[in-house]
Amino acid sequence: RLKNVGFIGLGNMGSRMATNLLKSGFRVSVHDMNGVAAKQFVDRGVLVKETPMEIAEASDVVITMLPSSTHVMDVYMGPNGLLHSSSALQPWLFIDSSTIDPLTSRKISLSVSGCALKEKLDCQEKPFMLDAPVSGGILAAEAGSLTFMVGGSEEAYLAAESLFLSMGRDSIYCGGAGNGSVAKICNNLAMAISMIGVSEALAVGQSLGVTASTLSRIFNCSTARCWSSDTYNPVPGVMDGVPSSRDYQGGFASKLMAKDLDIAAASANEAAIKHPLTCQAQDIFHKLCNEGNEAKDFSCVFRHYYGGKDE
Ligand code: NAD
């Protein structure tokens, strides 16, 4: 039931995830609206389809890895979308690994469960939908060491585990539809705020006369230690091999973090939970994007404390 896998969205993450599925022996067909992204797969002899609908017609399972909620809605519900021939669908499972808002995940899950499964028309079995966003950036996508956080039917999650383990090292089941998206948004919210916190502390300390390297060494063996200080330090020159050491090239784009914070703020509003730090983080990342840092790694938030100038 997992033999033919359709993959839509061959960008920074998706191209690497699809490649790992191919390496694991799955029969993969792909689609991307951008011909250049699809071309690298044509060149490797992979079946490339023109529309999401054609992907659905050829697949047992479809995986999507797209930028945002509107793109995912479009690919599922659009005129040539995955659910276009919704009278009876070929795939028994849809997995969306994009980072999108939990409400959209739940809406799509409802639409999928409203469709019939072509193979099982007589017994009225329904296709499944899992929201399965990932943690780990481009390097983890390439190495096949992503972590998946999965919402939806547990039965479908267990049946799809070998797919997750072909693209990642871990998968964590989070409960019903949309819960994977909730987990991902909360993870990125905490990560954004910790990155801002470390940047602010290092900027203040540096201005008061202690170097960022010394401060980071202290944080890393003290109570301020966190991923933003010891693994992904935002100050140029403190660590090798991280985006801050290469002018914030590569990594996780600030515009994606701004999008995730928009979703976090909207979700917190929806839940009527106070979220003052989310709002501050949202403002800071949108300002950074407006100042031309859209494509730079999100750790360039350190620049916020120097008005975009070199430190
Ligand atoms: P990307 O922009 O590099 O790739 C997205 C791809 O989707 C592009 O190739 C684009 O052409 C394609 N696409 C867009 N709309 C389409 C449509 N309607 N039909 C077909 N193809 C379409 O994005 P990415 O960096 O690969 O990120 C994808 C998702 O993963 C995002 O939701 C992001 O937040 C999340 N994510 C990214 C990272 C990271 O480090 N880049 C890490 C974790 C999660």
Residues 165-223: tens digit of each pLDDT: 999 999 999 999 999 999 999 999 999 999 999 999 999 999 999 999 999 999 999 99
CB of 46 shorter than 6 A to ligand 1? no
Residue boundaries of the structural domains of the chain: 4-176, 183-306
Name the helix (H) or strand (E) containing 130. strand 128-131
**ipTM for the predicted complex:** 0.99
Q: Look-up: residue for tokens 């033999």? A: 3
Is the CB of residue 56 less than 8 Å from the CB of residue 90? yes
Q: Which atom of ligand 1 is nearest to the CA of 146?
A: 43
Residue 192 tokens, joined: 């954004």
DSSP assignments along 232-263, one per residue: S--STTTSSSSGGGGTT-SSSBHHHHHHHHHH
Name the helix (H) or strand (E) containing 200. helix 179-207
State the Cα–Cα distance between residues 62 and 70, nearest whole angstrom: 18
Confidence of residue 309 (pLDDT cuts 50, 70, 90): very low
- So what's the pLDDT on residue 121? 65
- Which candidate in 49, 107, 184, 259 is catalytic? 184
Return the amino acid letter for 289. C
Encode pLDDT of 44-83 as tens digits: 999 999 999 999 999 999 999 999 999 999 999 999 999 9
Q: Which atom of ligand 1 is nearest to the CA of 74?
A: 18
pTM greater than 0.90: yes
Q: If you average pLDDT over every residue of the chain, what do you get?
A: 94
CATH number of the structural domain 4-176: 3.40.50.720
- So what's the pLDDT on residue 89? 87
Residue 212 tokens, joined: 């960022």
Best residue for ligand 1 mutational test, from 33, 50, 80, 149 (most atoms within 8 Å of Cβ) = 33
pLDDT of 119 strictly over 80 = no
- Smallest Cα–Cα separation from 231: which of 135, 142, 149, 161? 135
Range in 129-138, 189-198, 300-309 with the lowest mean pLDDT = 300-309
- Smallest Cα–Cα separation from 142: which of 170, 168, 161, 160? 168
Q: Does the active-site annotation cover 184?
A: yes
CB of 11 shorter than 6 A to ligand 1? yes
**Chain centroid to CA 171: how far?**
14
Residue 59 tokens, joined: 């697949």
Q: Which long-range contacts (CB under 8 A, 24 or more apart) does 271-277 make?
A: 277/193
State the Cα–Cα distance between residues 195 and 180, nearest whole angstrom: 23
Question: Which residues are paired to 135 by β-bridges?
Answer: 147
Q: How far is the centre of ligand 1, averaged over its atoms, from the C-alpha of 37 (Å)?
A: 11
CB of 226 shorter than 6 A to ligand 1? no
pLDDT of 310 strictly over 80 = no
Fold of 183-306: N-(1-d-carboxylethyl)-l-norvaline Dehydrogenase; domain 2 (1.10.1040)
Reduced DSSP (H G I as helix, E B as strand, rest coil) percent helix, strand, coil of the chain, to 5: 50, 15, 35
